[in-house]
Structure 1
């Protein structure tokens, strides 16, 4: 049983080195997961804004009302376009996701089509 305490002394700094190597990878993975989550939420907001605006436009309201409703749902920074043809209205809502110093590096989009009510 002599020397039992000495076997672990050579590995004393190994845990610190492994932590120093592994921690940045874990932090990057957590940031990536959070980024994907934020992009998903923003995509759902754009899709819901497009559906809301398409319903309003299909009921015969002016395009300005539909755009204002889309901005209330998706936020003021979203870009909203309304196009009409014959019996259909299409609303597209796009919004950028700021990524640190890169600015709006990711853009998400929601689109909805509705039949114009007679």
Structure 2
């Protein structure tokens, strides 16, 4: 089998052209995954804090539990309105190197406080 001299290095050139696109797609997939995980953790943190308040914990302890579940960098707000409590958790979507670095996930849970 005889090789043509004009085909020499063609695979290398094709890989060099396709590699940046593959890296970009991978970065987008990782960012979307990180955003989904951040949203789930914020939601879980808000639910944990709302349940903690209904179980009789004070607002500071409930907020600490929400931060433990939501993860590093989460901010928690506990607002009581009569017999209802609303917990809002905000946390960054991803690491500082991801395209979603400046965005934040937000979740709110509402529960009725038993007398």
Runs of 4+ in 1 over 3 A off after TM superposition: 101-104
- TM, length-normalised to structure 1: 0.85
Q: Which has the greater radius of gyration?
A: 1
Structure 2 CA distance for partners of 1:105 and 1:73, relative to 1, 3 Å: same
Point out where structure 1 has 5 or more consecutive residues left out of the alignment.
none
Structure 2: runs of 5+ lacking an equivalent: none
Residue 33 (structure 2) pairs with residue 49 (structure 1): no
Instruction: Determine the C-alpha separation between the residues in 2 that align with 1:11 and 1:61.
Output: 72
What is the TM-score when the length of structure 2 is the normalising length? 0.87
Is 2:107 the partner of 1:110? yes
Residues 76 and 16 of structure 1, relative CA distance in 2, 3 Å threshold: closer
Q: Equivalences for 1:9-88 in 2 at 5 Å?
A: 9-88=5-84
Structural RMSD (CA): 2.0
How many pairs align?
114
